[in-house]
Amino acid sequence: MSDVYLNGEFMPLEAARIPVLDRGFIFGDGVYEVVPVYGRRPLAWDRHWQRLEHSLAGIRLANPLTRAAADALIMRLIEEAETEDQSLYLQITRGVAPRDHGFPVLVNPTVLALSKPLSMPPASWLESGVNAVTHTDDRWYHCDLKTTALLANVLLRQQALDRGAVECLLLREGQVTEGAASNVVLVLDGVLVTPPRNHLMLAGITLALVLELAQRLGISCAERPISDAELRRAQEIWLTSSTREMLPVTCLDGHVVGNGLPGPVGKRLLAAYQELK
């Protein structure tokens, strides 16, 4: 069984090897996607592919894969995986070269893809909601690019874990951007509100799907700046991401959100999302 694709070859995970001078390892010089797979069908693969192209363009790396080659390789990994529901990881780095910040010339990018079983969050997280904390968004100004340079996000997520929470919600100059590894949607006075999709946050695929479902269900939506004060008075706070789908936040920085239970608007959307997938 091959569960990894590396530079044109399929192999077991244990057999996959990357040279130490790979710029992904040395500089975090690469981009990636995580695609949820349900019943061996990738959800919104088209959108993930488009976002990968956006990230590659953002780091000035030509895409070494054609769409047809990418389709073929992910489908083979998906077919050969043990479970029906999977989390598919695809990463492209600027390749192997002597360590020097400037781009190397004539170097082949490294392409890695692997599939692992999709592990859903515990049911209790959906029933009761989760704790989140806030922190200053101290990342860079290219958060729309899904790069492997994730140290800031790693430190922010760990802040949350250290404080007994599952996610860290980020505030840049007093305005909500996203979570350390998720997007944020709020219900404020009956309106589903999300921060503006710009260079300060990743344009989440799950978020886009949820917003489309909201429109279909006739829920009014607004994409606009959200202040710290609005975050704290939201009736509902939900996190969205490919691997965790939608998670209700019922406690923020130790204070109850809404009535302390997952709210009705998000629950409707979550039901619609289950239908969609």
Ligand X SMILES: Cc1ncc(COP(=O)(O)O)c(C=O)c1O
Catalytic (active-site) positions: 146
∠ CA 73-76-78, nearest 5°, is 110
55 binds ligand X, rule: CB under 6 A:
no
Query: What are the CA-CA distances from residue 77 to residues 14, 47, 214 (Å)?
Result: 15, 19, 33
Pick one of 204, 248, 258, 266: the residue that binds ligand X (CB under 6 A).
Answer: 204
182 binds ligand X, rule: CB under 6 A:
yes
CA-closest candidate to residue 276, choices 211, 202, 223, 220: 211
86 binds ligand X, rule: CB under 6 A:
no
**Minimum Å distance from CB 82 to ligand X?**
23
Q: Which is nearer to ligand X, 205 or 214 (CB)?
A: 205
30 binds ligand X, rule: CB under 6 A:
no
**Minimum Å distance from CB 46 to ligand X?**
13
- At 160, the amino acid letter reads A
177 binds ligand X, rule: CB under 6 A:
no
According to CB under 6 A, which residues from 206 to 245 bind ligand X?
A: 206-207, 240-242
Q: Which stretch binds ligand X (CB under 6 A): 9-17, 56-64, 201-209, 214-222?
A: 201-209
Q: How far apart are CA 253 and CA 203, in angstroms?
A: 25
Q: Which stretch binds ligand X (CB under 6 A): 9-17, 100-108, 158-166, 177-185?
A: 177-185
Q: What are phi and psi of 102, to 5 degrees?
A: -60, 155
Beta-carbon contacts of residue 106 (< 8 Å; ≥ 6 apart): none
Q: Which stretch binds ligand X (CB under 6 A): 114-122, 181-189, 256-264, 267-275?
A: 181-189
Q: How far apart are CA 5 and CA 77, in angstroms?
A: 8
Q: Which is nearer to ligand X, 29 or 178 (CB)?
A: 178
Q: Which is nearer to ligand X, 2 or 240 (CB)?
A: 240
Pick one of 165, 178, 195, 219: the residue that binds ligand X (CB under 6 A).
Answer: 178
Q: Which is nearer to ligand X, 26 or 34 (CB)?
A: 34
CA-closest candidate to residue 193, choices 206, 209, 211: 211
181 binds ligand X, rule: CB under 6 A:
yes
Instruction: Identify the three-state secondary structure at position 9.
Output: strand
Q: Which is nearer to ligand X, 36 or 129 (CB)?
A: 36
According to CB under 6 A, which residues from 118 to 147 bind ligand X?
A: none
What is the residue whose two structure tokens read 């939201």?
234
**Minimum Å distance from CB 210 to ligand X?**
9
The set of long-range contacts for 183-186, using a CB threshold of 8 Å and a minimum separation of 24, is 183/207, 183/239, 183/240, 183/241, 184/237, 184/238, 184/239, 184/240, 185/210, 185/211, 185/237, 185/238, 185/240, 185/266, 186/226, 186/230, 186/231, 186/234, 186/236, 186/237, 186/238
Q: Where do contacts with ligand X occur on this chain (CB under 6 A)? A: 34, 153, 178, 181-183, 202, 204-207, 240-242
